[in-house]
Structure 1
Amino acid sequence: MSTLQGTTSLIDPETIDYYYDEETNGFDEPVKQPEPQKNPGQILSAGFIGVGVLSLIVYLFNDHATGSWMGILLSFGLLTIGGIAYHWFSYKNTIPGIKHDGIMFSGSLHRGAIAWALGILFTGFYVVLYWWPEYLDRAIRLVDPLAMAMAGQPANQWFLYGFLYTLAILIFGVRMFMKYRHNRYHQIRTASVMFFQLVLAFIIPQFLRALNEPEFYFTYFWPLKYDVLFPGTVDYLVTSPGALGTFMVFWTMAGSFIAVPVLTYFYGKRWYCSWV
């Protein structure tokens, strides 16, 4: 223990001044362990994913294709089943515990070719979604049957996005359940995220559309959704038929100015980012 400028430090000055660069000193990528052989379940699941991708490509490049339940099942359905099954079979026979070895050297997680390709793909998708949604028309029409069943209206780009986002949360939620099956905290947290996305951020807004009510997302608060308290938005909700619009305004104000500050003060941003 030493004193530095009138304060007591548990670390001596020599240690504080010590400079260590692991890259300069030769700590490169660790020896890569051999990849475990894929089990039959993983192979079968990958087959489902492959057929789903192929079905989606065929549909998107078919000038005469229209939305159908069969199209949804053969594309998104097989992708979902295959993705969930693949994660299940990947972890079910492994020893529970943290498995993060080598992730900083993964091509998909550390500026590798796969990471760059995925980054460009997702960024491009958002650009098209916001500014040129007409180029997504075939994908939007593919999910028309689901939109009609849930909301009684044809799908638009936001329904497609919500649908894809919800599928991603559910598929990778199963992965989280399997990967962290030894940790009750992560299991409950993952279930919470899946519930809020599926019910409050997807099913309920579409149900409101079916009732000709405002398409309201109960998980959005100001400033995350900056225009939710704009005068025009508030007037639109308050003047909507019935008392539901007024409740939506009350919910937004209570969440934005009471719940969010209080929860953030006690739990930090993780209450929303990790649980909602």
Structure 2
Amino acid sequence: MSTTPAGTTLIDPETIAYFYDEEADGFGEPATAAEAPRNPGLMVSAGVIGLGLLALAVSLLGSMPLAGTWTPFLLSFGLLTAGTIGYAWFAYKDTVPGIKHDGIMFGNTTHRGAIAWALGIALTGFYVVLYWWPEYLARAIALVEPLSQALAGQPANQWFLYGFLYTMAVVIFGFRMFMRYRHNRYHIIRTISVMFFQLVLAFLLPHILRALNEPEFYFSYFWPLKYDYLFPGTVDYLVNSPGALGSFMVFWGAVCSFIATPVLTYYYGKRWYCSWVCGCGGLAETLGDPWRHLTPKSTVSWKIERAIIYAVLLLIILTTAVLWVSSTSEGA
């Protein structure tokens, strides 16, 4: 115990010697918070998710006697979808509408904890395998084979698998956004927008076009983001494809690139596309919502991002121009 220069204690001995037994006077232990009532809906939904994960594991690791059929597809992805949507419904339906970020800066998953690192490494590894070793995804590709045959009339590949998983994430967690931000009209409409563009224009329609022997075209992407859409080879392929649809695709891409994008960006900024149309923004606004607080917000990061954006844009413009000059020279 510290003392004063005169040698006396900071707390007088009488206070130190004071003793009071709270329990003896009937106070007892402090009251603890009442345990939250169990939510049967959450428990059932979690069980459905568990069954979906089990079916997925069996399909990927087992002998797969029903490979390429609807049964493993529905048992895995169907149960996962139903369970996750049900979990979001029961988790938010009885809560007071409003933004809920309690504990988000301390969560193991949402703030660079061990689970977050594991998820990050797993997702990065998935992309590495997707691009360089797709043969290791053969069993996963077989799971979506019936859907590919139904939509496109062609065998599934790693890109169909990726597009399906991507769209599935946007749709499922888009429903979660409905529940989480049901008090906010802006969020609801924006979520509907990104779900529509991803599900219809970036997934269903391109594969239906393949089934009809038409060019596979993504109407929600255009130059310079989809940089090859205005390359001479792509334009020539579309214009010379049977029917008028290919020419319309070129017209659509040109109008969106040189008229719609500049005008809408002038009035609304890049958010009209990044937050309302783009598939990347769609995934960020749905699945990525719990992690949006981790986005770098410093001036330095903004300057780096701006420099990279303009550098890539300049590269695409120069590449497109060089290809057109070369194509014109060869044609002459």
The TM-score bracket by the shorter chain reads 0.7 to 0.9
Q: Deviations over 1:162-196 (max 9, x none)?
A: 11111111110111000111111111111111111
SS in 2 for 1:97: coil
Q: Which moved more, 1:77-86 or 1:129-138?
A: 129-138
Paired with 2:133 and 2:146, the residues of 1 have a C-alpha distance of 23
**Which sections of structure 1, spanning at least 5 residues, go unmatched?**
1-32
Shift of 1:64: 4.4
Where do residues 53-72 of structure 1 align in structure 2 (5 Å cutoff)?
53-65=53-65, 66-72=67-73
Judged with a 3 Å threshold, the aligned counterparts in structure 2 of structure 1 residues 239 and 35 are, in CA distance, closer, same or farther, namely farther
- The Cα offsets for residues 99-145 of structure 1, whole Å up to 9 and x where unpaired, read as 11221222112111111111111111111111211111111111111
Report how far residue 233 of structure 1 moved. Answer: 1.2
Measured in 2, the distance between the counterparts of 1:178 and 1:146 equals 28
Match of 1:190 in 2: 191
Which residue number corresponds to residue 13 of structure 2?
none
Q: Helix, strand or coil for the counterpart of 2:105?
A: helix
Residue 62 of structure 1, CA deviation? 2.4
Shift of the 38–107 alpha-carbon distance from structure 1 to 2, 3 Å rule, reads: farther
Output one character per residue of 1:59-110: Cα deviation in whole Å (capped at 9) or x when no partner: 1112444111111110000000001000010000000001112212221121
State how many pairs are aligned. 244
Alignment of 1:88-107 (within 5 A): 88-107=89-108
Aligned to 1:245: 246
Q: From the superposition, tell whether residues 38 and 259 of structure 1 become closer, same or farther in structure 2 (CA, over 3 Å).
A: farther
1:38 shift after superposition: 4.7
**Residue in structure 1 matched with residue 128 of structure 2 by the alignment:** 127
1:80 maps to what in 2?
81
Residue 30 of structure 1 corresponds to which residue in structure 2?
none
What corresponds to 1:217 in structure 2?
A: 218
Q: Normalising to structure 1: TM-score of the pair?
A: 0.85
For 1:198-235, what per-residue CA distance to the aligned partner results, in whole angstroms no more than 9, with x for missing partners?
11111101110100111111011122222221111111
Secondary structure in 2 matching 1:153: coil
> Is the alpha carbon distance of 1:150 and 1:102 closer, same or farther for their aligned partners in structure 2, counting shifts above 3 Å?
same
Structure 2 partner of 1:232: 233
* Cα distance in 2 for residues equivalent to 1:116 and 1:39: 30
Moved over 6 A (4+): none
Higher deviation after alignment, 121-130 or 60-69 = 60-69
RMSD in angstroms over aligned alpha carbons? Answer: 1.6
Alignment-mate amino acid for residue 141 of structure 1: A
- Residues 196 and 187 (structure 1 numbering): CA distance in 2 closer, same or farther, change over 3 Å? same
Q: Summarize the Cα distance change of 1:239–1:55 in structure 2 as closer, same or farther, 3 Å threshold.
A: same
The structure number with the bigger radius of gyration is 2
User: 2:326: which partner in 1?
Assistant: none
How far the C-alpha of 1:267 sits from its partner, in A, is 1.0
Distance 1:239 1:113, change over 3 A: same
* Shift in Å, 1:37: 5.2
For residues 232 and 35 of structure 2, what CA distance do their matches in structure 1 show?
57
Residues in 2 aligned to 1:195 and 1:97: alpha-carbon distance in whole angstroms: 25
Give yes or no for the alignment of 1:148 onto 2:149. yes
State TM-score, norm by structure 2: 0.71
Alignment partners' CA distance in 2, 1:223 and 1:103? 36
1:263 aligns with 264
Q: Distance in 2 between matches of 1:45 and 1:241?
A: 49
With 140-149 and 34-43 compared, the bigger mean Cα shift is at 34-43
Higher mean C-alpha deviation, range 157-166 or range 83-92 = 157-166
Q: Classify the secondary structure of the residue corresponding to 1:111.
A: coil
Residues 215 and 98 of structure 1: CA distance in aligned 2, closer, same or farther (over 3 Å): same
Using a 3 Å threshold, how does the CA distance of structure 1 residues 183 and 256 change in structure 2: closer, same or farther?
A: same
Code of the aligned partner of 2:254: M
In structure 1, the residue matched to 2:6 is none
Which residue is 1:205 aligned to?
A: 206
User: For 1:208, what is the secondary structure of its paired residue?
Assistant: helix
Separation in 2, partners of 1:35, 1:163:
40
Which aligned pairs between 1:4-43 and structure 2 lie closer than 5 A?
36=36, 38-43=38-43
